[in-house]
Structure 1
């Protein structure tokens, strides 16, 4: 709270001294309390962002999808005050129910979930209705970080190092580790002392569960008796036994929207439009450059244009889907569906690899 409120409080003190004089400084606490009460939305860094009904015609960046990645991107890009950023999210706000960790599974198949199902299979989902599994995807500001079980587990270093070895400079584990730490606010004092892998003061709060059952402790002890190490799952090595770390703040869920969007919701150069379902990326067929998007809001088709980039962060299902709707994907498939082909990219919509659960 202090980060957001301090400038306003200092302004109130300065204005109050000028108004009533230094001799009556004792009345200032009451003046500050009154200002806080009547302008609470500006003082509370966890107040929800406001949905913008009308958007401008042009932005520097348009971010499609206000999920885990989109929330971080909106935060980072809008740090540059001269850049205008629009964040489009198909869903709305998270609820008080989603804040309660144990209720997360009750939100699956709710209005906060896209409600996707897999195709019938002979080798998976055999116990499910029609042999189809539900594939939960967040349709809400904060995305699937509002519906998951809040486990905070960084990818294995070998995966990052392999990406770098395949020709992606900047993606090795040592390259990305500073950014993990930059976003982290580790609330476990023991882990926070390990400055190699953890940090405090970032936007994303990480903490242990407020209560660990005796069974959980016995589980660790059993692993130790068998010769396994008790590990920090986000430390040097990930093989061993560990207690979970959670994207949690004061015992409640700390979604990506709560962590990265709420503290910056008053930035003038960031506009957030919810219930805005993007249906097409506008791409110039000649230059193959994205120059805007079309989206539906309140049943009305709208269009917004960009000076710099359209950033697609709509999730594992909707991102390739939207690319294909926009003419980027397997040419034969697009022609079958009557979509004009802008770029033949056979891999779009295939080879999906999605983590099981977090």
Structure 2
């Protein structure tokens, strides 16, 4: 294969994936070409999991959703050679672009994204187009683990102990820790030797980024200046600062599809159906027993029967949507839409939680060391990445270090911080107002007023993320048509506690930029007043309260919409074994089941939930 042929193919691939004309594709096809040319064996289409053309009429288990949870379940359930398992996924395969950590934001609004947008609300996202937050969700095998920023954070011990205290035995920290370790192949030798908290030899590769700017070390030093320890935030203590741990393998993304599905593609009891949009779970209204799944593939409606269980792993938006379309949900809502009610379950679609951060806290510096996209993404870095698997393209859009801190609203003597600092050697302006602005759905007017004068300048960013919001959103069906997008109500910052905590997080972020460790680089806060907040005296609590409602960033951690709880909890949708109340043979296993969101990025907890859920299924049927 000649490099000319590879480049031509790469241009077409990038154009289709990103949904733009060929003339707008720049360095990306060169990068794809380099990857394909130097790693042809890895890019061979045969390396993708094979799609099953002729499905069986009946399976023991059908898993709906091939994302972070569904990929794990497909792997673990097919370990039993006597069980036939079908994995249904609405999207297709990963691509060469998805492998490259620095390009994750290029995937937002691509054909791999469900492209969800929330309903307009005045409490948050005021700087976004139509005041609607953009909720990127992966429509691809591997789900959102293909589009995320690869951050591996387990959460806090107290999160899981709290789940247990709600009446969910078996979900305390010591109960779930073995399942975190089971998945993990920790490649950092200093962490791997701590076998109390880390595992090796699992399917999911976790490592440090091969590329760190001088800002990375400075971030940790600044954290020490603020009085915090440098620690393993996935170990004994969460409060403190550390380099991020990433779901990365040899400098490339290690999605759950790569980790859990590719190794099992030759198992004879595993069938995979991609581009298969599930429309309904089939439940007998008399016996309330699940007997099959209805889905659309190749433009045709198909049905498969199930002998044992259907497992919903479609995520915190699609799982409650499918429950409601199947007759499980709030009685009044389903009746209004003309959906026959099989089980009145008022908690379906309720209890929606998400982590939000304040975007745009930018600190210009005096040295050319940060991740500026037009400087980092070029032919030299593409070749370096393809040949040696390192260099700036292995950077996850500049994310280098993390800090877990406690504001005045948290117990300072307890290791249960309420703010996470995501510390980046880049920020909103680092690509000149193209993909980052687009991914965050910022209006042109807002971006131009705040960031245009520092386009492509060297900066670092602090994104303070609130860990345990008290505000709760909800999801409703738009209609009973399964292809209609559901109505999403975020309800961000409707609880005054959330406003206060996030405001204090912003103050702490600015203080972080004032430390001596950061001042060495010439750090200064980009203090351009926000358009909708100019009428308020600068830097007062009232001003910051206004700020947090403008550039309100989702961190894409939707969860809690089919929560786990005991039988006496009227809002619980599933029991502690993740079985749906009132329906036989149906489970939900994904972020939907979280009673409360965990303190940190949720991809690792979702994988843990699937590992534990798979063992529960095995215990029931073996």
Q: Normalized against structure 2, the TM-score is what?
A: 0.50
Q: Which residue of 1 aligns with 2:189?
A: 189
Match of 1:101 in 2: 101
Q: Cα deviations across residues 257-315 of structure 1 (Å, max 9, x unaligned)?
A: 00000011110001010000000000011121211100000000000011100000001
Matches of 1:157 and 1:118, distance apart in 2: 31
Match of 1:91 in 2: 91
CA distance in 1, matches of 2:334, 2:127: 34
Counterpart of 1:24 in structure 2 is: none
Partner of 2:164: 164
Give, in whole Å, the separation in 2 of the partners of 1:80 and 1:155: 31
Residue 130 (str. 1) matches residue 119 (str. 2): no
Q: Distance in 1 between matches of 2:57 and 2:342?
A: 24
Partner of 1:66: 66
Describe the superposition over 1:196-248 as per-residue Cα deviations: whole angstroms up to 9, x where unpaired.
Answer: 00011000000001011111101111222333110111101110011100000
Show the counterpart of 1:253.
253
Q: Which deviates more, 224-233 or 320-329?
A: 224-233
Contact 1:50/1:265 (<8 A) preserved? yes
2:271 and 2:285 map into 1 onto residues whose CA distance is: 28
CA-based RMSD of the aligned residues comes to 1.4
Q: Check conservation: 1:316, 1:354, Cα contact below 8 A.
A: no
Distance 1:227 1:279 in 2: 52
Q: Which moved more, 1:128-137 or 1:219-228?
A: 219-228
SS at match of 2:266: coil
Provide the rounded CA distance (Å) in 2 between the counterparts of 1:270 and 1:278: 18
Paired with 1:167 and 1:48, the residues of 2 have a C-alpha distance of 42
* Worse overlay, 223-232 or 179-188: 223-232
Question: What corresponds to 1:241 in structure 2?
Answer: 241
Deviation of 1:347 after TM superposition, in Å, equals: 1.3
CA contact (8 A) 1:150 1:247 kept: yes
Which consecutive residues of structure 2, in runs of 5 or more, have no partner in the other structure?
1-40, 356-553, 556-600, 602-622
2:225 counterpart of 1:225 = yes
Per-residue Cα deviation, 1:313-345 (whole angstroms, up to 9, x for no partner) = 001100000000000111111111111111111
Bigger drift between 145-154 and 217-226 goes to 217-226
* Structure 1 residue 318 corresponds to structure 2 residue 318: yes
In the alignment, the residues of structure 1 paired with residue 53 and residue 129 of structure 2 have an alpha-carbon distance, to the nearest angstrom, of 39
Match of 1:343 in 2: 343
Q: 1:79: how far off?
A: 0.2
1:291 equivalent in alignment to 2:272: no
* Deviation of the 1:167 alpha carbon: 1.5
Match of 1:53 in 2: 53
1:74/1:85 contact within 8 Å kept: yes
Deviation at 1:168, TM superposition (A): 1.1
Q: Say which SS state the counterpart of residue 63 (structure 2) adopts.
A: strand
Aligned position for 1:6: none
State the shift of 1:53 in Å.
2.2
Q: For 2:222 and 2:144, how far apart are their aligned partners in 1?
A: 33
What is the SS of the residue equivalent to 2:241?
Answer: coil
Which runs of no fewer than 5 residues in structure 1 stay unpaired? 1-39
CA deviation vs aligned residue, 1:67-107 (integer Å, no higher than 9, x gap): 00000000000000000000000000011000000100110
In 1, Cα distance between the equivalents of 2:163 and 2:310? Answer: 24
* Corresponding position of 2:352: 352
Shift of the alpha carbon at 1:155?
Answer: 2.0
1:331 aligns with 2:331: yes
What SS class does the counterpart of residue 60 from structure 1 fall into? Answer: strand
Work out the CA distance in 1 between the residues paired with 2:159 and 2:287: 34
C-alpha separation in 2, matches of 1:248 and 1:84: 30
Equivalents in 1 of 2:135, 2:223: separation in Å?
33
